[in-house]
Structure 1
Amino acid sequence: MTMIKWFLLAALSAAIAVPFTRPVIAGEFADVLDTPALKSDLAVQSTLTGLTLAGERLVAVGQRGHILYSDDAGQHWQQAQVPVSSDLVAVHFPSPSQGWAVGHDGVVLHSSDAGQTWSRQLDGRQIGPIMLDYYQQQLAGQPDNADLQARVSDAQRMVEEGADKPFLDVWFESDQVGYIIGAFNLIFRTDDGGSHWTPLLERTDNPSALNLYALRPVGGDLFIVGEQGLVMKLDRASGRFNATPTAYNGSFFGITGKPGATLVFGLRGNVFRSIDSGASWTRIDLDLPLSITASSITADGRIVLVSQAGHVLVSVDDGASFQIQPHSALAPVAAAQVAVGGALVLAGTRGLRQLPLE
């Protein structure tokens, strides 16, 4: 598999390259999809790759199924009850109580109590059969459709390969309607809070099945970014995600912005900005040749970007320019979130930490 994100370290990459089992004792194996995450006092210092707000509560997710939450802006953390020990990548709460987390082994988790406890809604063992059933039904009505024939073939292959495809981002527009995306153009939608999922692979301008890394709205628009400069925007009338090219063909890792200003960011400090809902893009010069891996927005509207090394850049002009904030003790960052009160909370290879924003 190609690189998913820089911060998916060897421990996370191994979850893709090897079967989804983990040794418990010599001669005995346990499926991580059926093994609850272990409680550990060191979880707050482990690799964490996703971070969000559930109302005023911070929720972080990461390796071995670790999910933590904080009610004091990131000063103290508690570990949630999680039914799997798969590595988790992303988390989103559309409301203070209802949230979803996704990660390796095709896992999708749901919480209805603001992140304290979680249940499994979907995993990689179900993805292939769901896709196969859906596309076989579509093909039955259009037996000569070559694209649907290829979708059925791909679904059959996924059934045979098992639970080895990760989901890399999740976003819900309400407690009922949401999307999950991942490797090799995986994209599903739910209209009933995750009880059922519908594949949308045929509704993306992604013929090469590039990895999809991030899914986020800006204003009234919903964007997806991925490998090789892939940027797509949802056409709500047709339900398709249409490509909106930039001048960059490297990976984009994230999306941020405000109504009237959309930014996509990724490898080697590449940030592109659109002020016309993605119709055209302008490169923003950060003067920092490091990948941008995280973003957040302050209560007063400043846009914050964070580099893979932990540099914090802040814009006060809706993303037209950025200034690097002076601070020491840089450390790799995978996710960022401005907490209630204004502190910037960062998640990465060294766990969770809090920084003041000037």
Structure 2
Amino acid sequence: MKKTIAACIAATFAVTYSSTALAEEAFMAPLVEQSVLLDIDANSFVVIVGERGHVLLSEDGKSFHQKLVPTQSTLTATTVVGENIWAVGHDAVILHSSDKGETWEIQNYQPDLQRPFLDVLFFDEKQGIATGAYGLFYRTLDGGKTWTAERHASLLDPMDQEYLEEIRKEDEDFYQQELESILPHLNRVTLDGDTLYMAGEAGLLAKSTNMGESWERYYVDYTGSFFDIKPLDESTVLAVGLRGNIFVNRNQGEWEYVQTCSTSTLNSILVGSESKIYALGNNGMMVSAQRPLPTSMRDPYANPSDCEADEGIEVSQIKDKAALLNATQFNGISIAVSANGIKTLNLK
């Protein structure tokens, strides 16, 4: 695929927040483990985040304790590096703890921006990025002491990029306004070795080999939203998204469709083993697939009653039908977060 030449436009100022506008401390909820929880990450311990600033930690993956944090903004994503934890969410909030969640600081808080962060990823203890709605993209080089806003035109569809470049020839200010208005939601970033992957709105799948400073957008015959992208091995990348859509890319070829006959939106990917993967979705749906993943022609106009899932595909549903948002494996336990709290998955 032809690489785009549109460069990212970075703001020339560090993002700051007003200490007088800080949100209230999170409410210590007695039933927090049953609340709306949106993301999970783990290394030597587990971190879970969710609505109203809820942050839960566990050392064993079984017993969770809520931590007091200085925000009631909904937290949508978290990441762990060593003993450092970052959590991001609504009101463009970015929280940080350097001591495994015992104490917290606000690194960014911009409710007037009216754009939530949807994911956060750190390459090491100093360098990280936070991504979100309408192309929201912030970068730090100092562990979050300062964050710089960037805009990445290369994440747009090639036709939109062409349109913007024509505008830019005439009016740079209008170009910047249009760029900001049409950038898609940046839903998920995933790091594998030196390659950074992104999934987003309007068919956005992209990769970067320089920590997201520039991007190469994939061509996918699909214009709906993607919510997760994950490499399965050196030659296979999987993406899932709206209305149950699953696509797989092998050996940097074309993205191929995986037929599951399920139309529930898929939010995340969990690698169960070398031979089996799971996609977790709304309505408590779980799609399991045997590798190598089967593929078929995608027909968006096909009658659902005539659908036949590809070989090796199984669809199941958890008992309470709560939306499953993300999951991780820790100490041999498959832990998921959902609209009804923490779930332990029984993966066959």
TM range (shorter): 0.7 to 0.9
Cα shift at 1:92:
1.0
Cα contact 2:327–2:337 (8 A) shared by 1 = yes
Residue 292 of structure 1 aligns with which residue? Answer: 266
Conserved? CA contact 2:96–2:107, under 8 Å: yes
Question: Is the 2:199–2:206 Cα contact (8 Å) retained in structure 1?
Answer: yes
CA distance in 1, matches of 2:250, 2:194: 13
- Distance (whole Å) between structure 1 residues aligned to residue 282 and residue 337 of structure 2: 11
| Structure 2 counterpart of 1:40, from 29, 44, 52 | 29
**Which residue among 58, 68, 78 is the counterpart of 2:65?**
78
Which residue matches 1:351? Answer: 341
How far the C-alpha of 1:235 sits from its partner, in A, is 4.4
Question: How far off its partner does 1:275 sit?
Answer: 1.8
Can you list the C-alpha shifts for 1:154-205, whole angstroms capped at 9, x where unaligned? xxxxxxxx24211111111111111111111111111211112222204533
State which of 307, 326, 337 in structure 2 corresponds to 1:335.
Answer: 326
Structure 1 residues 33-112: aligned runs within 5 Å: 33-53=22-42, 55-73=43-61, 75-95=62-82, 97-112=83-98
| Equivalent residues of 1:106, 1:167 under 8 A apart | yes
The one-character-per-residue Cα deviations of 1:23-44 (angstroms, maximum 9, x if unpaired) are: xxxxxxx96x331101121111
The amino acid that maps onto 1:60 is I
- Residues 56 and 71, structure 1, Cα contact 8 Å, conserved in 2: yes
Structure 1 residue aligned with 2:104: 118
1:84–1:266 CA distance, 2 compared to 1 (3 A) = same
Counterpart Cα distance in 1 of 2:64 and 2:229:
27
Give the aligned residue type for 1:352: I
Work out whether residues 140 and 147 of structure 2, in 8 Å CA contact, stay in contact via their aligned partners in 1: yes
TM-score (norm 2): 0.76
| 2:246 aligned with 1:256 | no
Q: Secondary structure at the match of 1:179?
A: strand
Aligned residue for 2:49, secondary structure, equals strand
In 1: Cα distance, 2:32 partner to 2:211 partner: 44
Is contact 1:123-1:163 (8 Å) kept?
no
Instruction: Tell me if the contact between 1:257 and 1:303 (Cα under 8 Å) persists in the aligned partners.
Output: no
* Residue aligned with 1:201, SS: strand
Distance change >3 Å, CA 57–CA 301, structure 1 → 2: farther
Does structure 2 retain, via aligned residues, the 8 Å contact 1:203–1:239? no
Name the residue aligned to 1:213: 187
Q: Is the 8 A contact 1:203 1:240 kept in 2?
A: no
Which secondary structure state, in structure 1, belongs to the residue aligned with residue 106 of structure 2?
A: strand
SS in 2 for 1:236: coil
State the partner residue of 2:169.
none
Whole-Å separation in 1 of the counterparts to 2:73 and 2:275: 35
Instruction: State the percentage of identical aligned residues.
Output: 29
Aligned equivalents of 1:353, 1:285: Cα separation in 2: 26
Cα distance in 2, alignment partners of residues 237 and 113 from structure 1: 26
CA contact (8 A) 2:23 2:73 kept: no
Q: Distance in 1 between matches of 2:192 and 2:71?
A: 32
Shift of residue 238, structure 1, vs aligned partner: 9.0
Determine the structure 2 residue equivalent to 1:271. 246
| Structure 2 counterpart of 1:10 | none
Q: Distance in 2 between matches of 1:81 and 1:226?
A: 31
State how far apart, in whole Å, the 1-side matches of 2:102 and 2:141 are: 24
Taking structure 1 as reference, are residues 347 and 237 closer, same or farther at Cα in structure 2, changes over 3 Å only?
closer
- 1:164 to 2:114 alignment: yes
Counterpart residue identity of residue 48, structure 1: L
CA distance in 1, matches of 2:121, 2:57: 19
Q: Which runs of 5+ in 1 are unaligned?
A: 1-29, 126-161
Is the alpha carbon distance of 1:322 and 1:340 closer, same or farther for their aligned partners in structure 2, counting shifts above 3 Å? farther
Contact 1:108 1:120 in 2 (8 A): yes
Question: 1:186-238: CA deviations, max 9, x gaps?
Answer: 11111211112222204533252111111112454211121111112114299
Paired residue type of 1:64: R
In 1, the alpha carbon distance for the partners of 2:25 and 2:212 equals: 40
Higher strand fraction: Structure 1 or Structure 2?
A: 2
CA–CA separation in structure 2 for the residues paired with 1:192 and 1:250: 35
CA 1:197/1:48 → structure 2, altered by over 3 Å: closer, same or farther? same
Kept in 2: contact 1:258–1:318 (CA 8 A): no
